Amino acid sequence: MNVQIIIIFNLLLLNSYVRSEWNTRDYMKREHSLIKPYQGSGMTIPFWDFTGSTMVTNNYIRITPDLQSKTGALWNSIPVYVKNWDLQVHYKVHGKGKDLFGDGFVIWYAKDRMQTGPVFGNNDFFHGLAVILDTYSNHNGPHNHQHPYISAMVNNGTLHYDHDRDGTHTQIAGCEAKFRNLEHDTHVSIKYERDVLTVSTDIENKAAWKECFQVKGIKLPTGYYFGVSATTGDLSDNHDILSIRLYELDLPDDQQNNEDRSNIVPSATYFEPPRDHTEDPKPSSLSGIKVFLLMMIGCIAIVACVVIGIMFYQKQQEHGRKRFY
Ligand SMILES: *[C@@H]1O[C@H](CO)[C@@H](O)[C@H](O)[C@H]1NC(C)=O
Ligand SMILES: [Ca+2]
């Protein structure tokens, strides 16, 4: 490649970058967004419905308060016909609990709306996408990650979200994200572009997106609804939504744009290999150090057996020789 081509190539890249930046701003879809001031006339929010413990104030929408056994939800009332989008949610999860808090909240792109159920306040066996911001680890076993944890699940109506395992068997990807009880603003971006789902966070007060995970091969139909739901149980937190912004991503030369996606079934090509399918350890479980010590003792025992065995064998040989002569 000669220098000229490289320069032209870079200019093109820069140009498309700038353009997509502009487009991102230009194509905010008001009917799928929630920005201050929230209220229209009276207690209603234009384009949004809410249910359960959800409370609308001037500065935030509180899906659950920091009280036990609360369930709330907020649902967009207009089905989404945008095919490539970026949903940016400004949220705040906070509460009195220092070590114990929960349960978290979910950002939905789902077929059914306003249905109360066991998955963070929404129905199980849903159709669509769930991005789960789980603050409480229900699974006491050996998780290989910490909470708070962000994961995604795609469901065609047949999969059960297993709360007791924090959904590890059905998640397509996830990342740890310490988004709770922060002084500064916290944001999450859920980008769905050409069947690639990218979830990014802005929780470090840097005004920049940091990728949490990216998964290819995600098929989502059009005509579903955006929503947010949250629950508290024995443990609680305030789950607040400050804004939701939906940007249409303009993709020139996109063949998919002509494809009818209204009747496809949600699907994911790649699933994370299931993690711990093992049963929960008994309460008097072996801690890591105990397991290590037991393994050490086991190793020493094996070595000792081998050494004794060899000595015994040599003794026998000596005996044999003695007898032979
Ligand atoms: C639904 O998803 C499950 C699990 O991924 C899969 O086995 C099943 O074939 C899917 N069903 C439909 C109708 O797509
Ligand atoms: Ca959990």
Going by pLDDT thresholds of 50, 70 and 90, the confidence category of residue 318 is low
Tell me which residue of 189, 188, 108, 118 sits closest to 148, measured CA to CA.
188
Percentage of residues of the chain with pLDDT beyond 90: 67
For residue 158 and ligand 1, the question of a CB distance below 6 A is answered with yes
Q: Whole-angstrom Cα distance, residue 318 to residue 310?
A: 12
* pLDDT band for position 17 (cuts 50, 70, 90): very low
Q: Whose CA is nearest to atom 3 of ligand 1?
A: 158
State how far the Cα of 131 lies from the Cα of 170, in Å rounded to an integer. Answer: 12
Coil, helix or strand at residue 191 = strand
Spacing, Cα 72 to ligand 2 middle (Å): 17
Q: What is the pLDDT of residues 259-271, one digit of tens each?
A: 899 999 999 998 7
- One-letter amino acid at 31 equals E
- What's the rounded Cα separation, in Å, for the pair 170 and 220? 16
8 Å CB contact between 104 and 92: no
Q: 325 pLDDT band (50/70/90 cuts)?
A: very low
pLDDT digits (tens, 9 = 90+) for 32-61: 999 999 987 778 999 999 999 999 999 999
Q: For residue 269, which ligand has an atom nearest its CA?
A: 1
CA distance 13 to 276: 43
Which pLDDT tens digit goes with each residue over 192-209? 999 999 999 999 999 999
- Residue among 156, 215, 218, 219 whose CB has most ligand 1 atoms within 8 A, to mutate: 156
Question: How many angstroms is it from 211 CA to the middle of ligand 1?
Answer: 28
- Closest atom of ligand 1 to 155 CA is 2
Any ligand 1 atom below 6 A from CB of 125: no
Quote the ligand 1 centre to 77 CA distance (angstroms): 27
CA–CA separation, 106 and 132 (whole Å): 4
| pLDDT mean across residues, the chain | 86
Answer yes or no: is pLDDT of 186 > 50: yes
What predicted TM-score, i.e. pTM, was given to this entire model?
Answer: 0.78
Are the C-beta atoms of 133 and 107 separated by less than 8 Å?
A: yes
Residues 6 or more apart in contact with residue 187 via CB below 8 angstroms: 88, 89, 90, 91, 201, 202, 203
Q: Does the beta carbon of 265 lie inside 6 Å of ligand 1?
A: yes
pLDDT, tens only, 86-138: 999 999 999 999 999 999 999 999 999 999 999 999 999 999 999 999 999 99
Find, among 39, 60, 37, 83, the residue nearest to 250 by Cα. Answer: 83
Q: Longest Cα pair distance anywhere in the chain, in angstroms?
A: 112
- Residue appearing with tokens 């005004």: 207
81 in Cβ contact with 59 (< 8 Å): no
